[in-house]
């Protein structure tokens, strides 16, 4: 550290009068701080000094290279800052979401962010412009100042790799701690992982399933799975939320699971782990899913979706949906290509119920858009009760819309005269951002228990009482639930306990954005507490 201080003091003069810390250098240092603070990583002061020395040295060596790297870095930082505030540094989930999105979805996500996020992004571009507009200084081709800047930069660059070498015995320049370097490295490695996972999904999606069904004893003629979107359990009145926003689920006969947990905290990861058989390698076997299992058992299968079928990549969930005998996507290709409502899915129910009604049991899956941010787009800016701000109020009302959807679907099933069972659950929850401020909103996250606490509810024809199951249940065991619920037994699904019971289950784990399995119980809380 003494060496760094010495060389830095030697480097802090553009002239003999030591005018290094003047306006010109100060504005460069400010820009370096803004860039490195906008990428979602923790920024240490020593890294800021090292990056500053790098830019100063680069400007002395090649003004053109300095301008090019500065422009690219500033643009990336300005564009990424709102996402870093919401999602943190790049991870598998954010890159996968980018590939699975389209301009319409991106526009809605961008509209959720507070205005001040964009003001900071604009500020980064303004500071970058000021740096580029500075008077160009002429430096010698090489001098002691160059050597000092280089020495400080290299010393700081090697601090973390050497520390890792000292503690773990391995040396790698990939351990360099500069946020800009981290950003480029992580995007490169994550992109490779996403491409590999997509190829694996495509390969499996084209394979024939290999279920071995040993018994089929359905208790009902029709089985309905309703997949909700972005619903955290503590926002529902029926599950203990402080708002009376679920009149149907709060009074309907059936089974409420008070401690059901999603497998992951984003749609593709969560439903991939929920709806498929997961191998010993902990990877979803997309060809072996609830649709193909039901078909093997002789069920007629239907999938009706208000989510998009295609982004840049065909999504994992769409690949599962396409296995059904009858498939309808309300949005033709894109996630938000048309202004469709979840209630539009109900128009498919009658045909499904009347299709081969006397010949085979049925599995009907509805995939809702539910409470996906931006919530006010889901409710068309309508809400029943003002809570905190408009977006939070819309979110609570979007849950009422989902409850109303379930009530209408339940009525359709009752009117059909066929015996049925309907299960509803959500894929994941959300977290509060900018909590307590006027710009408070809800977004995807993986750091809190509430990101995995979701509702699960079953109601069936013939139910005459309400029952609450308080035992912890995990979506990682959903295939076991599906086998128990539908009466389909196979060699591949071996339940370790009765899902619809109070029988204890193994400790739950969840999968975070970086695909790490995390002990759910160690996660902190992010409760839904209204400030007004």
CA distance 217 to 208: 24
Residue indicated by tokens 């998009």 = 308
**Around Cβ 119, how many Cβ atoms within 10 Å?**
9
How confident is the model at residue 3, as a pLDDT? Answer: 47
How confident is the model at residue 106, as a pLDDT? Answer: 65
With a CB cutoff of 8 Å and minimum separation 6, the contacts of 62 are: none
Tokens of 225: 């799975």
How far are the Cα atoms of 84, 256, 277, 335, 477 from residue 93, in angstroms, in the given order?
Answer: 13, 30, 21, 17, 22
Q: Which of 298, 299, 296 is nearest to 212 (CA)?
A: 296
How confident is the model at residue 107, as a pLDDT? Answer: 67
Radius of gyration of the chain (CA): 27
DSSP H helices in 62-178: 63-87, 92-100, 103-112, 115-133, 144-168
pTM, two decimals, is: 0.87
Contact between 33 and 51 (Cβ < 8 Å): no
Q: What totals of helices (H) and strands (E) does the chain contain, helices first?
A: 17, 18
Tokens of 123: 């500020």
Q: Cis omega before residue 301 (within 30°)?
A: no
How far are the Cα atoms of 93, 402, 405 from residue 367, in angstroms, in the given order?
Answer: 20, 11, 12
How confident is the model at residue 97, as a pLDDT? Answer: 75
CA distance 336 to 313: 15
How confident is the model at residue 167, as a pLDDT? Answer: 82
Provide the residue-wise pLDDT of the chain in tens; the chain has 532 residues: 454 454 444 444 433 334 445 667 889 999 999 999 999 998 888 889 999 999 988 888 888 999 999 999 999 999 999 999 988 899 888 887 777 665 566 667 778 889 999 999 999 999 999 999 887 766 667 777 778 888 888 888 888 888 877 888 788 888 888 899 989 999 999 989 888 887 887 787 778 999 999 999 999 999 999 999 999 999 999 999 999 999 999 999 999 999 999 999 999 899 999 999 998 888 999 999 999 999 999 999 999 999 866 544 457 788 899 999 999 998 765 444 457 899 999 999 999 999 975 689 999 999 999 999 999 999 999 999 999 999 999 999 999 999 999 999 999 999 999 999 999 999 999 999 999 888 899 999 999 999 999 999 999 999 999 999 999 999 999 999 999 999 999 999 999 999 999 999 999 999 999 889 999 999 999 999 875 5
Contact between 439 and 413 (Cβ < 8 Å): no
Q: Which of 341, 432, 423, 448 is nearest to 392 (CA)?
A: 432
Using CA of residue 388, residue 390, residue 393, residue 395, what is the dihedral sign? negative
First to last CA, the chain: 51
What are the φ/ψ torsions at residue 89 (nearest 5 degrees)?
Answer: -65, 160
Tokens of 494: 């071996």
How confident is the model at residue 126, as a pLDDT? Answer: 96
Contact between 346 and 409 (Cβ < 8 Å): yes
Question: Is domain 213-496 classified as CATH 3.40.720.10?
Answer: yes
Q: Fill in the DSSP letter of residue 173.
A: G
Residue indicated by tokens 């309400």 = 466
- In DSSP notation, 239-308 reads GT-SS---HHHHHSSEEEETTEE-SBSSHHHHHHHHSEEE-TTS-EEEEEEHHHHHHHTT-EEEEEESS-
Strand partners, 310: 314
Tokens of 25: 């250098």
| Cα three-residue angle 59-63-66, rounded to 5 degrees | 65
How confident is the model at residue 260, as a pLDDT? Answer: 98
Contact between 267 and 327 (Cβ < 8 Å): no
CATH 3.40.720.10 domain position(s) in the chain: 213-496
Q: Cis omega before residue 431 (within 30°)?
A: no
With a CB cutoff of 8 Å and minimum separation 6, the contacts of 309 are: 315, 318, 321, 329, 331, 332, 333
CA distance 530 to 386: 10
How confident is the model at residue 489, as a pLDDT? Answer: 96
Longest dimension (CA), the chain: 95
Tokens of 401: 């819309």
């Amino acid at each position: 550290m003494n060496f760094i201080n010495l060389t830095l003091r030697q480097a802090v003069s553009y002239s003999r009068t030591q005018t290094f810390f003047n306006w010109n250098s100060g504005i460069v240092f400010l820009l370096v701080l803004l860039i490195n603070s906008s990428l979602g990583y923790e920024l240490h002061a020593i890294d800021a000094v090292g990056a500053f020395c790098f830019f100063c040295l680069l400007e002395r060596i090649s003004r053109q290279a300095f301008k090019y790297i500065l422009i690219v870095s500033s643009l990336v930082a300005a564009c990424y800052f709102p996402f870093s505030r919401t999602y943190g540094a790049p991870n598998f989930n954010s890159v996968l979401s980018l590939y699975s999105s389209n301009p319409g979805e991106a526009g809605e996500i961008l509209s959720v962010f507070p205005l001040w996020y964009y003001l900071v992004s604009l500020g980064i571009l303004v500071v970058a412009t000021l740096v580029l507009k500075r008077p160009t200084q002429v430096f010698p081709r090489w001098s002691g100042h160059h050597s000092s800047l280089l020495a400080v930069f290299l010393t700081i660059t090697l601090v973390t790799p050497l520390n890792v070498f000292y503690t773990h015995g391995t040396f790698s320049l990939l351990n360099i701690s500069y946020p800009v370097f981290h950003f480029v490295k992580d995007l490169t490695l994550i992109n490779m992982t996403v491409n590999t996972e997509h190829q694996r999904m495509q390969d499996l999606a084209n394979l024939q399933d290999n279920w071995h069904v040993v018994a089929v004893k359905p208790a009902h003629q029709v089985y309905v799975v309703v997949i909700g979107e972005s619903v955290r359990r503590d926002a529902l009145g029926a599950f203990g939320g402080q708002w009376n926003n679920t009149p149907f689920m709060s009074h309907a006969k059936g089974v409420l699971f008070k401690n059901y947990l999603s497998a992951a905290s984003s749609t593709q990861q969560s439903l991939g782990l929920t709806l498929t058989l997961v191998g010993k390698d902990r990877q979803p076997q997309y060809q072996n899913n609830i649709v193909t299992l039901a078909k093997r058992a002789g069920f007629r299968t239907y999938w009706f979706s208000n989510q998009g079928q295609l982004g840049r990549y065909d999504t994992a969930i769409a690949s599962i949906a396409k296995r059904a005998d009858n498939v309808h996507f309300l949005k033709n290709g894109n996630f938000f290509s048309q202004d469709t409502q979840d209630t539009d899915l109900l128009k498919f129910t009658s045909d499904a119920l009347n299709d081969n009604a006397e010949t085979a049991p049925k599995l009907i899956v509805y995939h809702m858009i539910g409470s996906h941010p931006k919530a006010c787009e889901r409710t068309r800016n309508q809400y029943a009760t003002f809570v905190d701000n408009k977006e939070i109020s819309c979110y609570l009302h979007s849950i009422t819309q989902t409850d109303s959807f379930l009530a209408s679907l339940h009525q359709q099933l009752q009117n059909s005269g066929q015996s049925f069972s309907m299960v509803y659950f959500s894929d994941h929850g959300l977290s509060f951002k900018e909590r307590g401020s006027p710009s408070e909103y809800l977004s995807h996250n993986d750091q809190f228990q509430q990101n995995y606490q979701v509702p699960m509810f079953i109601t069936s024809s013939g139910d005459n009482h309400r029952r609450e199951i308080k035992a912890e249940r995990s979506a990682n065991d959903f295939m076991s639930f599906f086998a128990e619920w539908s009466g389909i037994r196979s060699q591949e699904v071996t339940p370790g306990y009765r899902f619809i019971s109070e029988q204890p289950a193994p400790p739950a784990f969840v999968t975070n954005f970086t695909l790490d399995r995390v002990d759910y119980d160690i996660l902190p809380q992010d409760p839904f507490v209204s400030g007004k």
